[in-house]
A and B are shown apart, each in its own frame.
Chain A
Amino acid sequence: MLKEYFIRRALYLIPVLIFISFMSFSLIYIAPGDPAEIMMTSPSGGYDEAAVEAFRIAHGLDQPFYIQYLNWLKGAVVGDFGYSYMSEQPVFETVLNAFRNTLTLSVLSLAIALVIAIPLGVVSALKHNTVVDDACRFVALFGVSIPNFWQAYLMIIIFSVILHWLPASGFGHGTDISYMILPATVLGTGSAAVMMRMIRSSMLDVMGKEYIQTARGKGLSEKIVIIRHALKNALVPVITVVGLSIGFLLNGSVVVETIFGWSGIGNLVVDSILSHDYMMVQGSVLFVAVIFLLINFFVDLVYVWANPEIRYDRTS
């Protein structure tokens, strides 16, 4: 039953992927600006017709739209997204490298978000309508309300400019955690606020359930009641929010990556759009979309783990 469920869920991905690839390709195709002309334009402004024509032919841009699309798709299926017009580097490799950096940052942000959100949400629910709860909710409201970019500059001013504790921006060598702390915190706190409120309300709901009283009636300590009997059930609706947060962290970190000069996928897409590097844009968009789908697929797996009823649903 479980296996069938996953196979079916995996099959659903195929039409979605085809649709996404078509959309991302055509959006770029209908965007103004001819890549051949732009690429072949000299810094002084003029271009050579013959060179433009040669570029078109070399990159298949003279072909009809659907041929271009199918050629691109044929490559994309086996991981060949073509070459960047600008750097002549393979798109896939460039995107993969950038994505790896974004992923590092996202994982750290998510960890920060969960480490903040779960304890605060649980404490807020257990002490609901007390000063502790009010304080937690105030912090959460604050976290939701502050715009990312503003918080980013504020933290740069405090921790880099005034205190000199952390670098203001840059990438280090990719493994240097001191460069990650500020951007990851900015991204993490935003998500944490949403998750915390979700955990609080979900936990409040679960703590009022009869099976919690049953668990207490068995003589279990309050700690075990909360962790074993309440938290797992309370996290089921939160998983959805976490899944969405991962998507947000991977795709929505453009602003934060730009501010902190982090060479991730957000930065890559923005740079590619500005320089009309269409192959790169198409590749990045499709890549991010695939990742997003995979994350949602994974979230479904976690859902099944947390809510056994889904596993045996007769209608699915």
Chain B
Amino acid sequence: MSDVLLKVSGVSVSIPTGQGNVHAVDDAAFSINKHEVFSLIGESGSGKSILGQAIMRLLPPNAVFSGKVELDGTEISALSEKEMQKIRGKTVASIAQNPYLAMNPGIRVGTQVAEPMRAHLGLSKEDAKARTRRALKYFDILPPEVREREYPFQYSGGMLQRAMVAMGTAADPELIIADEPTKGVDVLKRRNIAAIFQKVASEGCAFLLITHDVGFARAMSDRIAVNYCGQIIEIAGKDAFFKEPLHPYSKALLDAVPERGMHPIPGSSPSMIEVPEGCRFHPRCPHKTERCLADPPVVEMARRCVRCWLYA
């Protein structure tokens, strides 16, 4: 068996709205190996989350999907909804951004954490309960026999975040898709989230981190993909990427983080409805030439790739 766990090829998603079609994901292609932490970084509203939803097959009903998603060699993008339900929460689980919104306010936390176990592992009520207590304990939700009977609003933010990770990992998934795990949290909480994720990753679970938080991605990932206006414009190993980003947008993005002097990228993010012709970054790019008006090729190099004419 190969080491590839998730293979995404030629995935596009567009969502019709009153103003026109939103081209949220365009021709996404990447793969994630087993036990690998893979980050998809980019600005808010660049279509990252939609890509995560597309993999889980939880897109809004009116979204138009094309392309292929393979998980463990199975083409999950072609499965029936019923077969897909056996995959969700079992092989691939998702962890949402805001635990207060993502947990059901009217159901006890223990019951919510136990749900994937009951659905996928065929555990009896008692076995699921015992396993839930172990999981809560593992994530420092103490004492588990009290906490399992409480409701989400009785938890602190950090504890609920951990409960959500306990819920995501309840049925031992091979891949976790975490959508903006550090959005709107302070530095301490961010560090805690990183610690929990690392704990889960150290047990062999692969991650797809969808984040705008470059520092978080750097601390967590093995490989980085950069998303701009619905397109993945660069994929590289973490060290190579931070040492030498290739795409002009990647460079600009790294220069924009506070540690590097917070240089803003000139111009503003393009509309996702009427995307720029050719290279989507060309209106803001310092290196643009005539050829940038044509679609740039994805240039493959040793263990990295970039979607830019500069390297063609």
A interface list, Cβ under 8 A from B: 209-211, 213-222, 228-229, 232-233, 236, 306-309, 312
B88 in complex: contacting residue of A218, A228, A309, CB < 8 Å: A218
Q: Is A217 touching B89 in the complex (CB atoms < 8 A)?
A: yes
Within 8 A of A (CB), among B88-105: 88-90, 93-94, 96, 98, 101-105
B66-104 interface bits toward A, Cβ cutoff 8 Å, 1 = contact, 0 = none: 000000000000000110011111100110101001111
Nearest residue (CB) in A for B170 is A218
Q: How far is the CB of A205 from chain B (nearest CB, A)?
A: 13
Q: Is A210 touching B151 in the complex (CB atoms < 8 A)?
A: no
Q: Report chain B residues within 8 Å CB of A219.
A: 85-90, 116, 119-120, 171
Q: Is A211 touching B88 in the complex (CB atoms < 8 A)?
A: no
Q: CA A214 – CA B116 in complex, angstroms?
A: 11
| Tally of A-B Cβ pairs under 8 angstroms | 75
25 contacts between A and B (CB under 8 A): A210-B96, A210-B101, A214-B104, A215-B115, A216-B58, A216-B88, A217-B89, A217-B94, A218-B89, A218-B115, A218-B119, A219-B171, A220-B115, A221-B85, A229-B107, A232-B106, A232-B107, A233-B105, A233-B106, A306-B106, A307-B105, A308-B105, A308-B151, A309-B105, A312-B153
Check B154 for interface membership: any CB of A closer than 8 A: yes
Q: Is B154 touching A229 in the complex (CB atoms < 8 A)?
A: no
Given contacts A213-B58, A214-B104, 19 further A-B contacts (CB under 8 A): A211-B105, A214-B94, A214-B96, A214-B102, A214-B103, A216-B88, A217-B89, A217-B93, A217-B94, A218-B93, A218-B116, A218-B119, A220-B89, A220-B119, A222-B81, A229-B104, A233-B106, A308-B106, A312-B154
Check B56 for interface membership: any CB of A closer than 8 A: yes
Known contacts A218-B116, A218-B119, A220-B115; decide if A233 and B104 are in contact (CB<8 Å). Answer: yes
Q: CA A221 – CA B120 in complex, angstroms?
A: 12
Nearest residue (CB) in A for B153 is A309
Q: Report chain B residues within 8 Å CB of A220.
A: 85, 89, 115, 119
Q: Report chain B residues within 8 Å CB of A214.
A: 94, 96, 102-104, 167
Q: Report chain A residues within 8 Å CB of B89.
A: 217-220
Q: Is B96 touching A309 in the complex (CB atoms < 8 A)?
A: no
Within 8 A of A (CB), among B136-155: 151, 153-154
